[in-house]
Structure 1
Protein backbone atom coordinates (compact mmCIF):
# COMPACT_ATOMS: atom_id res chain seq x y z
CA UNK A 1 0.00 0.00 0.00
CA UNK A 2 1.08 3.57 -0.59
CA UNK A 3 1.29 6.89 1.24
CA UNK A 4 -0.74 9.47 -0.68
CA UNK A 5 -0.77 13.22 -0.10
CA UNK A 6 -4.07 14.95 -0.93
CA UNK A 7 -3.78 18.72 -1.46
CA UNK A 8 -7.09 20.57 -1.81
CA UNK A 9 -8.54 23.69 -0.19
CA UNK A 10 -12.04 22.17 -0.02
CA UNK A 11 -12.64 20.21 3.18
CA UNK A 12 -15.33 18.06 1.57
CA UNK A 13 -13.00 16.98 -1.24
CA UNK A 14 -10.20 16.16 1.20
CA UNK A 15 -12.50 14.10 3.41
CA UNK A 16 -14.02 12.22 0.47
CA UNK A 17 -10.70 11.36 -1.15
CA UNK A 18 -9.22 10.39 2.21
CA UNK A 19 -12.12 8.03 2.92
CA UNK A 20 -11.91 6.37 -0.50
CA UNK A 21 -8.13 5.93 -0.42
CA UNK A 22 -8.14 4.68 3.18
CA UNK A 23 -10.72 2.07 2.18
CA UNK A 24 -8.28 0.95 -0.53
CA UNK A 25 -5.63 0.39 2.16
CA UNK A 26 -3.53 3.49 1.50
CA UNK A 27 -2.17 5.87 4.13
CA UNK A 28 -3.42 9.39 3.45
CA UNK A 29 -1.83 12.71 4.43
CA UNK A 30 -3.85 15.93 3.97
CA UNK A 31 -2.97 19.53 3.11
CA UNK A 32 -5.38 22.39 2.48
CA UNK A 33 -2.92 24.68 0.69
CA UNK A 34 0.50 24.82 -0.91
CA UNK A 35 2.23 25.87 2.32
CA UNK A 36 1.00 22.77 4.12
CA UNK A 37 1.86 20.62 1.09
CA UNK A 38 5.44 21.93 1.16
CA UNK A 39 5.70 21.11 4.86
CA UNK A 40 4.45 17.56 4.36
CA UNK A 41 6.75 17.04 1.37
CA UNK A 42 9.73 18.30 3.39
CA UNK A 43 8.84 15.97 6.25
CA UNK A 44 8.25 12.83 4.22
CA UNK A 45 8.30 11.43 0.70
CA UNK A 46 4.77 10.45 -0.36
CA UNK A 47 4.39 7.75 -2.98
CA UNK A 48 1.85 9.85 -4.88
CA UNK A 49 0.25 13.32 -4.68
CA UNK A 50 -3.28 14.39 -5.64
CA UNK A 51 -2.89 18.14 -6.23
CA UNK A 52 -5.70 20.67 -6.77
CA UNK A 53 -4.92 23.41 -9.31
CA UNK A 54 -6.94 26.31 -7.89
CA UNK A 55 -5.88 27.13 -4.32
CA UNK A 56 -5.89 30.45 -2.44
CA UNK A 57 -2.19 30.86 -1.66
CA UNK A 58 -0.26 29.21 -4.48
CA UNK A 59 -1.92 27.38 -7.36
CA UNK A 60 -1.15 23.73 -8.03
CA UNK A 61 0.68 24.31 -11.31
CA UNK A 62 3.06 26.77 -9.63
CA UNK A 63 3.72 24.28 -6.83
CA UNK A 64 4.32 21.54 -9.41
CA UNK A 65 6.86 23.78 -11.18
CA UNK A 66 8.54 24.50 -7.85
CA UNK A 67 8.93 20.81 -7.03
CA UNK A 68 10.17 20.04 -10.55
CA UNK A 69 12.79 22.82 -10.50
CA UNK A 70 14.12 21.85 -7.06
CA UNK A 71 14.34 18.11 -7.64
CA UNK A 72 11.41 17.30 -5.36
CA UNK A 73 9.17 15.88 -8.08
CA UNK A 74 10.26 12.31 -7.34
CA UNK A 75 6.70 11.00 -7.02
CA UNK A 76 3.73 10.85 -9.43
CA UNK A 77 1.49 13.93 -9.17
CA UNK A 78 -2.14 13.79 -10.32
CA UNK A 79 -3.64 17.22 -10.94
CA UNK A 80 -7.30 17.95 -10.09
CA UNK A 81 -9.58 20.80 -11.11
CA UNK A 82 -13.15 21.66 -11.93
CA UNK A 83 -12.35 24.83 -13.86
CA UNK A 84 -9.05 24.24 -15.66
CA UNK A 85 -8.68 24.67 -19.41
CA UNK A 86 -7.11 22.21 -21.81
CA UNK A 87 -4.03 24.46 -21.97
CA UNK A 88 -3.64 24.22 -18.19
CA UNK A 89 -3.87 20.43 -18.29
CA UNK A 90 -1.30 20.27 -21.11
CA UNK A 91 1.06 22.59 -19.22
CA UNK A 92 0.80 20.50 -16.04
CA UNK A 93 1.55 17.33 -18.02
CA UNK A 94 4.53 18.99 -19.68
CA UNK A 95 5.94 20.00 -16.30
CA UNK A 96 5.70 16.44 -15.02
CA UNK A 97 2.16 15.65 -13.84
CA UNK A 98 1.30 11.99 -14.44
CA UNK A 99 -2.44 12.57 -14.98
CA UNK A 100 -5.24 15.12 -14.84
CA UNK A 101 -8.65 14.55 -13.21
CA UNK A 102 -11.61 16.82 -13.83
CA UNK A 103 -13.97 17.49 -10.92
CA UNK A 104 -16.36 16.06 -9.95
CA UNK A 105 -14.07 13.04 -9.84
CA UNK A 106 -15.69 9.63 -10.26
CA UNK A 107 -14.56 6.73 -8.09
CA UNK A 108 -13.54 4.67 -11.12
CA UNK A 109 -11.38 7.42 -12.64
CA UNK A 110 -9.75 8.20 -9.29
CA UNK A 111 -8.73 4.62 -8.53
CA UNK A 112 -7.57 4.03 -12.10
CA UNK A 113 -5.37 7.15 -12.08
CA UNK A 114 -3.91 6.28 -8.67
CA UNK A 115 -3.14 2.68 -9.67
CA UNK A 116 -1.53 3.79 -12.92
CA UNK A 117 0.56 6.40 -11.13
CA UNK A 118 1.79 3.95 -8.50
CA UNK A 119 2.48 1.24 -11.09
CA UNK A 120 4.56 3.60 -13.24
CA UNK A 121 6.45 4.68 -10.14
CA UNK A 122 7.22 1.09 -9.17
CA UNK A 123 8.30 0.28 -12.73
CA UNK A 124 10.77 3.19 -12.69
CA UNK A 125 12.13 1.96 -9.36
CA UNK A 126 12.57 -1.57 -10.69
CA UNK A 127 14.47 -0.27 -13.73
CA UNK A 128 16.69 1.87 -11.49
CA UNK A 129 17.46 -1.08 -9.22
CA UNK A 130 18.29 -3.39 -12.15
CA UNK A 131 20.48 -0.72 -13.74
CA UNK A 132 22.37 -0.20 -10.49
CA UNK A 133 22.80 -3.94 -10.03
CA UNK A 134 24.19 -4.34 -13.54
CA UNK A 135 26.63 -1.46 -13.06
CA UNK A 136 27.79 -2.88 -9.73
CA UNK A 137 26.21 -0.21 -7.52
CA UNK A 138 25.67 -1.33 -3.92
CA UNK A 139 22.29 -0.83 -2.26
CA UNK A 140 23.74 -0.71 1.25
CA UNK A 141 23.11 3.05 1.26
CA UNK A 142 20.36 4.50 3.41
CA UNK A 143 17.62 4.22 0.79
CA UNK A 144 14.16 5.00 2.09
CA UNK A 145 11.15 3.01 0.93
CA UNK A 146 9.69 6.07 -0.76
CA UNK A 147 12.92 6.70 -2.70
CA UNK A 148 13.11 3.07 -3.74
CA UNK A 149 9.50 3.02 -4.89
CA UNK A 150 9.82 6.28 -6.86
CA UNK A 151 13.23 5.68 -8.36
CA UNK A 152 14.77 8.42 -6.23
CA UNK A 153 18.47 9.22 -6.32
CA UNK A 154 20.66 7.36 -3.88
CA UNK A 155 22.64 9.44 -1.39
CA UNK A 156 26.34 8.93 -0.82
CA UNK A 157 27.12 5.30 0.17
CA UNK A 158 27.55 4.56 3.85
CA UNK A 159 29.69 1.92 5.52
CA UNK A 160 28.95 -1.58 4.23
CA UNK A 161 27.54 -3.74 7.04
CA UNK A 162 28.76 -6.93 5.41
CA UNK A 163 26.99 -9.80 3.65
CA UNK A 164 23.25 -9.91 4.15
CA UNK A 165 20.87 -12.90 3.87
CA UNK A 166 19.63 -13.43 0.33
CA UNK A 167 16.14 -12.03 -0.16
CA UNK A 168 14.05 -13.14 -3.12
CA UNK A 169 10.77 -11.65 -4.29
CA UNK A 170 7.97 -13.21 -6.28
CA UNK A 171 8.19 -11.25 -9.52
CA UNK A 172 5.47 -13.34 -11.16
CA UNK A 173 2.75 -12.16 -8.77
CA UNK A 174 0.75 -8.91 -8.68
CA UNK A 175 2.76 -5.69 -8.39
CA UNK A 176 1.23 -4.74 -5.04
CA UNK A 177 2.26 -8.05 -3.47
CA UNK A 178 5.85 -7.68 -4.71
CA UNK A 179 5.89 -4.10 -3.43
CA UNK A 180 4.64 -5.17 0.01
CA UNK A 181 7.25 -7.96 0.13
CA UNK A 182 10.01 -5.46 -0.60
CA UNK A 183 8.79 -2.94 1.98
CA UNK A 184 8.44 -5.65 4.63
CA UNK A 185 11.97 -6.93 3.99
CA UNK A 186 13.28 -3.35 4.04
CA UNK A 187 11.78 -2.55 7.44
CA UNK A 188 12.71 -5.95 8.95
CA UNK A 189 16.31 -5.31 7.88
CA UNK A 190 16.44 -1.91 9.58
CA UNK A 191 14.65 -3.17 12.72
CA UNK A 192 17.23 -5.93 13.08
CA UNK A 193 20.09 -3.54 12.37
CA UNK A 194 18.86 -1.03 14.98
CA UNK A 195 18.02 -3.70 17.59
CA UNK A 196 14.31 -2.97 17.34
CA UNK A 197 14.65 0.74 18.20
CA UNK A 198 11.68 2.49 16.59
CA UNK A 199 13.32 5.89 17.13
CA UNK A 200 16.47 4.95 15.21
CA UNK A 201 14.52 3.15 12.48
CA UNK A 202 12.32 6.22 12.05
CA UNK A 203 15.44 8.37 11.68
CA UNK A 204 17.06 5.95 9.24
CA UNK A 205 14.00 5.60 7.02
CA UNK A 206 12.96 9.24 7.17
CA UNK A 207 9.50 8.52 8.57
CA UNK A 208 7.69 9.86 11.61
CA UNK A 209 7.17 7.29 14.38
CA UNK A 210 3.37 7.37 14.01
CA UNK A 211 3.60 6.83 10.25
CA UNK A 212 6.22 4.12 10.77
CA UNK A 213 3.96 2.25 13.21
CA UNK A 214 1.06 2.40 10.73
CA UNK A 215 3.27 1.17 7.91
CA UNK A 216 4.63 -1.76 9.96
CA UNK A 217 1.12 -2.72 11.03
CA UNK A 218 -0.11 -2.65 7.42
CA UNK A 219 2.77 -4.88 6.31
CA UNK A 220 2.32 -7.34 9.19
CA UNK A 221 5.85 -6.88 10.54
CA UNK A 222 6.34 -8.76 13.82
CA UNK A 223 8.01 -6.18 16.08
CA UNK A 224 8.58 -8.66 18.89
CA UNK A 225 10.27 -11.07 16.50
CA UNK A 226 12.45 -8.30 15.08
CA UNK A 227 13.66 -7.39 18.56
CA UNK A 228 14.41 -11.04 19.40
CA UNK A 229 16.37 -11.53 16.17
CA UNK A 230 18.47 -8.48 17.01
CA UNK A 231 19.61 -9.98 20.32
Structure 2
Protein backbone atom coordinates (compact mmCIF):
# COMPACT_ATOMS: atom_id res chain seq x y z
CA UNK A 1 0.00 0.00 0.00
CA UNK A 2 1.43 3.39 -0.94
CA UNK A 3 1.91 5.65 2.06
CA UNK A 4 3.16 9.08 3.02
CA UNK A 5 2.28 12.66 2.23
CA UNK A 6 1.06 12.10 -1.32
CA UNK A 7 -0.60 8.70 -1.17
CA UNK A 8 -2.80 6.71 1.11
CA UNK A 9 -4.42 3.40 1.93
CA UNK A 10 -8.02 2.79 1.01
CA UNK A 11 -10.44 0.09 2.04
CA UNK A 12 -13.28 0.08 -0.51
CA UNK A 13 -16.76 -0.96 0.56
CA UNK A 14 -19.94 -1.97 -1.23
CA UNK A 15 -23.43 -2.21 0.18
CA UNK A 16 -25.36 -5.46 -0.03
CA UNK A 17 -27.35 -3.82 -2.81
CA UNK A 18 -24.21 -3.41 -4.91
CA UNK A 19 -24.52 0.37 -5.19
CA UNK A 20 -20.99 1.40 -4.26
CA UNK A 21 -17.95 1.37 -6.45
CA UNK A 22 -15.87 -1.49 -5.10
CA UNK A 23 -16.06 -4.38 -2.71
CA UNK A 24 -13.53 -5.44 -0.03
CA UNK A 25 -12.00 -8.88 -0.35
CA UNK A 26 -13.70 -11.50 1.77
CA UNK A 27 -10.71 -11.86 4.09
CA UNK A 28 -10.43 -8.14 4.83
CA UNK A 29 -9.68 -8.67 8.52
CA UNK A 30 -7.60 -11.85 8.16
CA UNK A 31 -4.42 -11.70 10.19
CA UNK A 32 -5.32 -8.53 12.06
CA UNK A 33 -4.86 -8.50 15.80
CA UNK A 34 -8.16 -7.21 17.12
CA UNK A 35 -9.23 -6.15 20.60
CA UNK A 36 -12.97 -6.39 21.29
CA UNK A 37 -14.31 -2.84 21.27
CA UNK A 38 -16.16 -3.13 24.58
CA UNK A 39 -13.10 -4.47 26.39
CA UNK A 40 -10.72 -1.95 24.84
CA UNK A 41 -12.99 0.99 25.51
CA UNK A 42 -13.58 -0.03 29.13
CA UNK A 43 -9.84 -0.29 29.62
CA UNK A 44 -9.25 3.11 28.01
CA UNK A 45 -11.87 4.81 30.13
CA UNK A 46 -10.53 3.21 33.29
CA UNK A 47 -7.01 4.36 32.47
CA UNK A 48 -8.31 7.85 31.71
CA UNK A 49 -10.28 8.14 34.94
CA UNK A 50 -7.83 6.55 37.35
CA UNK A 51 -4.41 7.37 35.96
CA UNK A 52 -4.77 10.19 33.45
CA UNK A 53 -4.31 9.73 29.70
CA UNK A 54 -1.98 6.95 28.55
CA UNK A 55 -0.79 6.24 25.00
CA UNK A 56 -3.05 3.19 24.71
CA UNK A 57 -5.99 5.01 26.28
CA UNK A 58 -5.52 7.96 23.91
CA UNK A 59 -5.51 5.66 20.87
CA UNK A 60 -8.75 4.07 22.08
CA UNK A 61 -10.45 7.43 22.60
CA UNK A 62 -9.47 8.78 19.17
CA UNK A 63 -10.42 5.56 17.37
CA UNK A 64 -13.82 5.62 19.06
CA UNK A 65 -14.33 9.21 17.91
CA UNK A 66 -13.68 8.15 14.32
CA UNK A 67 -16.20 5.32 14.62
CA UNK A 68 -18.95 7.73 15.67
CA UNK A 69 -17.73 10.51 13.37
CA UNK A 70 -17.78 8.35 10.23
CA UNK A 71 -21.25 7.07 11.11
CA UNK A 72 -22.43 10.66 11.55
CA UNK A 73 -21.06 11.70 8.16
CA UNK A 74 -22.68 8.73 6.39
CA UNK A 75 -26.02 9.54 8.01
CA UNK A 76 -25.94 13.32 7.61
CA UNK A 77 -24.93 13.13 3.95
CA UNK A 78 -27.53 10.50 3.10
CA UNK A 79 -25.07 7.88 1.87
CA UNK A 80 -27.32 5.24 3.43
CA UNK A 81 -31.09 5.34 4.05
CA UNK A 82 -32.03 6.91 7.37
CA UNK A 83 -33.97 3.80 8.38
CA UNK A 84 -30.70 1.81 8.48
CA UNK A 85 -29.47 3.88 11.44
CA UNK A 86 -30.35 3.73 15.11
CA UNK A 87 -29.99 6.29 17.90
CA UNK A 88 -27.40 5.92 20.67
CA UNK A 89 -26.25 8.20 23.48
CA UNK A 90 -22.60 9.27 23.43
CA UNK A 91 -20.66 12.40 24.43
CA UNK A 92 -23.87 13.81 25.89
CA UNK A 93 -25.44 13.71 22.42
CA UNK A 94 -27.91 11.54 20.54
CA UNK A 95 -25.93 10.05 17.66
CA UNK A 96 -26.92 7.87 14.70
CA UNK A 97 -25.04 4.63 14.01
CA UNK A 98 -25.56 2.09 11.26
CA UNK A 99 -27.47 -1.16 11.78
CA UNK A 100 -26.26 -2.65 8.48
CA UNK A 101 -24.28 -5.81 9.45
CA UNK A 102 -21.82 -5.59 6.57
CA UNK A 103 -21.12 -1.91 7.12
CA UNK A 104 -20.69 -2.51 10.87
CA UNK A 105 -18.14 -5.24 10.15
CA UNK A 106 -16.33 -3.07 7.64
CA UNK A 107 -16.10 -0.04 9.93
CA UNK A 108 -15.05 -2.17 12.92
CA UNK A 109 -12.20 -3.66 10.88
CA UNK A 110 -10.99 -0.24 9.76
CA UNK A 111 -11.27 1.35 13.22
CA UNK A 112 -9.49 -1.57 14.92
CA UNK A 113 -6.59 -1.27 12.49
CA UNK A 114 -6.56 2.50 12.89
CA UNK A 115 -6.41 2.06 16.66
CA UNK A 116 -3.17 0.09 16.38
CA UNK A 117 -1.64 2.71 14.09
CA UNK A 118 -2.68 5.47 16.48
CA UNK A 119 -0.99 3.54 19.28
CA UNK A 120 2.19 3.38 17.19
CA UNK A 121 1.87 7.09 16.28
CA UNK A 122 2.15 6.04 12.64
CA UNK A 123 -0.97 7.61 11.13
CA UNK A 124 -1.07 11.14 9.73
CA UNK A 125 -4.67 11.57 8.66
CA UNK A 126 -7.98 9.89 7.94
CA UNK A 127 -10.11 11.02 5.02
CA UNK A 128 -13.72 10.19 4.16
CA UNK A 129 -14.20 10.62 0.41
CA UNK A 130 -17.71 10.89 -1.03
CA UNK A 131 -18.00 10.38 -4.79
CA UNK A 132 -20.60 10.25 -7.53
CA UNK A 133 -21.20 6.55 -8.22
CA UNK A 134 -21.80 7.02 -11.94
CA UNK A 135 -18.90 9.34 -12.81
CA UNK A 136 -16.51 8.66 -9.92
CA UNK A 137 -16.17 12.42 -9.40
CA UNK A 138 -15.21 13.37 -5.85
CA UNK A 139 -17.87 15.63 -4.33
CA UNK A 140 -16.80 15.87 -0.68
CA UNK A 141 -13.63 15.19 1.26
CA UNK A 142 -13.75 15.07 5.05
CA UNK A 143 -10.17 15.29 6.28
CA UNK A 144 -9.01 14.64 9.84
CA UNK A 145 -5.34 15.51 10.38
CA UNK A 146 -3.78 13.61 13.26
CA UNK A 147 -0.84 14.88 15.29
CA UNK A 148 0.84 12.55 17.78
CA UNK A 149 3.34 13.31 20.51
CA UNK A 150 5.90 10.62 19.74
CA UNK A 151 7.60 11.15 23.08
CA UNK A 152 4.65 9.32 24.65
CA UNK A 153 5.53 5.70 25.47
CA UNK A 154 3.91 2.81 27.28
CA UNK A 155 5.97 3.50 30.37
CA UNK A 156 5.55 7.29 30.24
CA UNK A 157 3.73 9.05 33.06
CA UNK A 158 0.02 9.50 32.21
CA UNK A 159 -0.96 12.93 30.90
CA UNK A 160 -3.27 15.06 33.00
CA UNK A 161 -6.49 15.78 31.17
CA UNK A 162 -9.93 14.78 32.33
CA UNK A 163 -12.24 12.51 30.37
CA UNK A 164 -14.90 15.23 30.63
CA UNK A 165 -12.66 17.85 29.03
CA UNK A 166 -11.86 15.54 26.12
CA UNK A 167 -15.50 14.58 25.64
CA UNK A 168 -16.52 18.26 25.66
CA UNK A 169 -14.10 18.92 22.80
CA UNK A 170 -15.24 15.84 20.85
CA UNK A 171 -18.86 16.86 21.35
CA UNK A 172 -18.13 20.22 19.70
CA UNK A 173 -16.63 18.47 16.66
CA UNK A 174 -19.58 16.07 16.32
CA UNK A 175 -22.01 18.99 16.59
CA UNK A 176 -20.20 20.76 13.77
CA UNK A 177 -20.38 17.64 11.59
CA UNK A 178 -24.14 17.60 12.18
CA UNK A 179 -24.45 21.32 11.42
CA UNK A 180 -22.66 21.07 8.05
CA UNK A 181 -25.96 20.18 6.38
CA UNK A 182 -26.81 23.89 6.64
CA UNK A 183 -24.11 24.87 4.13
CA UNK A 184 -22.98 21.77 2.21
CA UNK A 185 -24.55 21.39 -1.24
CA UNK A 186 -27.30 18.79 -1.48
CA UNK A 187 -26.03 15.48 -2.86
CA UNK A 188 -28.53 14.95 -5.66
CA UNK A 189 -26.87 11.86 -7.14
CA UNK A 190 -26.21 8.38 -5.79
CA UNK A 191 -22.93 8.45 -3.90
CA UNK A 192 -20.32 6.05 -2.58
CA UNK A 193 -17.65 6.55 0.05
CA UNK A 194 -14.04 5.50 0.56
CA UNK A 195 -11.89 5.71 3.67
CA UNK A 196 -8.29 6.78 3.15
CA UNK A 197 -5.64 6.54 5.84
CA UNK A 198 -2.28 8.25 5.44
CA UNK A 199 0.52 6.49 7.30
CA UNK A 200 4.27 6.72 7.83
CA UNK A 201 6.20 5.53 4.79
CA UNK A 202 7.93 2.65 6.58
CA UNK A 203 4.77 1.19 8.12
CA UNK A 204 3.86 -2.39 7.23
CA UNK A 205 0.16 -2.53 6.38
CA UNK A 206 -2.23 -5.47 5.87
CA UNK A 207 -2.02 -6.86 2.35
CA UNK A 208 -5.78 -6.50 1.90
CA UNK A 209 -5.46 -2.71 1.93
CA UNK A 210 -5.09 -1.36 -1.58
CA UNK A 211 -3.21 1.61 -2.97
CA UNK A 212 -5.01 4.86 -3.64
CA UNK A 213 -4.28 8.41 -4.68
CA UNK A 214 -5.39 11.34 -2.49
CA UNK A 215 -8.67 11.82 -4.43
CA UNK A 216 -8.75 15.60 -4.32
CA UNK A 217 -11.69 17.75 -5.47
CA UNK A 218 -11.43 20.10 -8.42
CA UNK A 219 -12.94 23.56 -7.91
CA UNK A 220 -13.66 23.21 -4.20
CA UNK A 221 -14.36 25.21 -1.06
CA UNK A 222 -12.92 24.25 2.34
CA UNK A 223 -14.38 24.78 5.80
CA UNK A 224 -12.30 24.27 8.92
CA UNK A 225 -14.02 22.52 11.80
CA UNK A 226 -13.05 22.31 15.45
CA UNK A 227 -10.22 20.20 16.84
CA UNK A 228 -9.76 18.12 19.97
CA UNK A 229 -6.76 16.76 21.84
CA UNK A 230 -6.06 14.08 24.41
CA UNK A 231 -2.65 15.73 25.02
CA UNK A 232 -1.09 12.77 23.17
CA UNK A 233 -3.14 12.81 19.96
CA UNK A 234 -4.62 15.93 18.40
CA UNK A 235 -7.24 15.77 15.64
CA UNK A 236 -7.85 18.75 13.34
CA UNK A 237 -10.85 18.47 11.04
CA UNK A 238 -12.09 20.10 7.86
CA UNK A 239 -14.46 19.41 4.99
CA UNK A 240 -13.96 20.29 1.35
CA UNK A 241 -16.81 20.23 -1.13
CA UNK A 242 -17.20 20.77 -4.84
CA UNK A 243 -18.57 24.18 -5.74
CA UNK A 244 -21.89 23.69 -7.55
CA UNK A 245 -21.96 24.83 -11.16
CA UNK A 246 -24.75 27.33 -11.77
CA UNK A 247 -26.93 26.53 -14.74
Give the alignment's TM-score, normalised by structure 2.
0.24
Report which of the two has the higher share of strand.
Answer: 2
Higher relative contact order (CA 8 A, sep 6+): 2
Report which of the two has the higher share of helix.
Answer: 1
